A and B are shown apart, each in its own frame.
Chain A
Amino acid sequence: EVQLVESGGGLIQPGGSLRLSCAASGFTVSSNYMSWVRQAPGKGLEWVSVIYSGGSTYYADSVKGRFTISRDNSKNTLYLQMNSLRAEDTAVYYCARSWVERYDFDYWGQGTLVTVSS
């Protein structure tokens, strides 16, 4: 059974850093496209970043240069390193898997809340 479990969210001051984790089971992270998608409180869904099976990474313009996506194949875990956090980064962050098409998300984690506030 495919499962994705995010962790690492919390309250952080503007300008701070946070690392989110997404532990996967039931499939191999490195063999799939893995993305982060976020949802600000009361708002819609926004794609944030992707890592391809080959290791290429891509980012939404809103986080480029501040966020870094990575994975640890030995732990079958996806990460999102978030630096220079802003109030507008406040959101629930979901990890999501795509198997065939790069951004056709078939499984999602339960999400972890990041709150950027002083």
Chain B
Amino acid sequence: DIQMTQSPSSLSASVGDRVTITCRASQGIRNDLGWYQQKPGKAPKRLIYAASSLQSGVPSRFSGSGSGTEFTLTISSLQPEDFATYYCLQHNSYPPGFGQGTKVEIK
């Protein structure tokens, strides 16, 4: 199975900060990676697909990059509604696997 290592596991940031979250795959997964946002008590919501494509309706302050084994989710200017937990998901090979999550908290 492909292991997804997400870092950091949590971070504290202020409104307006630039935030970067990283996912590393244990083997190459091309660009078969998505990023999801989950707020407490809610279902995950896809932000990014194919590593760098922005889901329709998602603010442009979210961006994704990377290919192969290293991927990044960037929030260019953190907004109050962005405080949540973020997960990456590899869907290159079976079984699909999620990163452990990154909780973004208010500083």
Seen from chain A, the residues whose Cβ lies within 8 Å of a Cβ on chain B are 44-47, 58, 60, 94, 98, 101-106, 108-111
Q: A44-B101, A47-B96, A102-B91 are in contact. Are A94 and B43 (CB under 8 A)?
A: yes
Q: A58-B94, A102-B91 are in contact. Are A108 and B100 (CB under 8 A)?
A: no
Q: Please, how many residues of chain B have a CB less than 8 angstroms from a CB on the other chain? A: 21
Q: A44-B87, A109-B43 are in contact. Are A104 and B95 (CB under 8 A)?
A: no
* B36, B43, B45, B91, most chain A CB atoms within 10 A: B43
Main secondary structure of the interface of B (DSSP, over half): loop
**Interchain CB contact under 8 A, B98 and A104:** no
Q: A44-B100, A58-B94 are in contact. Are A103 and B89 (CB under 8 A)?
A: yes
13 additional contacts (CB under 8 A) given A98-B91, A111-B43: A44-B87, A45-B89, A45-B101, A46-B98, A47-B95, A47-B97, A101-B91, A102-B96, A103-B89, A103-B94, A105-B34, A105-B36, A110-B43
Q: A44-B100, A46-B98, A58-B94 are in contact. Are A108 and B89 (CB under 8 A)?
A: no
Q: Which residues of B contact A44 (CB under 8 A)?
A: 87, 98-101
Q: A47-B95, A58-B94 are in contact. Are A105 and B100 (CB under 8 A)?
A: no
Q: Is B44 an interface residue (CB 8 A)?
A: yes
Smallest CB separation, A49 vs chain B (Å): 10
Q: Which residues of B contact A104 (CB under 8 A)?
A: 32, 34, 49, 89, 91
Q: Which residues of B contact A101 (CB under 8 A)?
A: 32, 91
10 contacts between A and B (CB under 8 A): A44-B99, A44-B100, A45-B89, A45-B98, A46-B98, A58-B95, A98-B91, A102-B91, A105-B36, A105-B89
**A103's contact among B42, B44, B96, B101, by CB below 8 Å, is which?**
B96
Q: Which residues of B contact A111 (CB under 8 A)?
A: 43
Q: Which residues of B contact A94 (CB under 8 A)?
A: 43-44
* B32, B95, B96, most chain A CB atoms within 10 A: B96
Q: Which residue of A lies closest to B44 (CB)?
A: A108
Measured CA separation A47–B34 after assembly (Å): 14
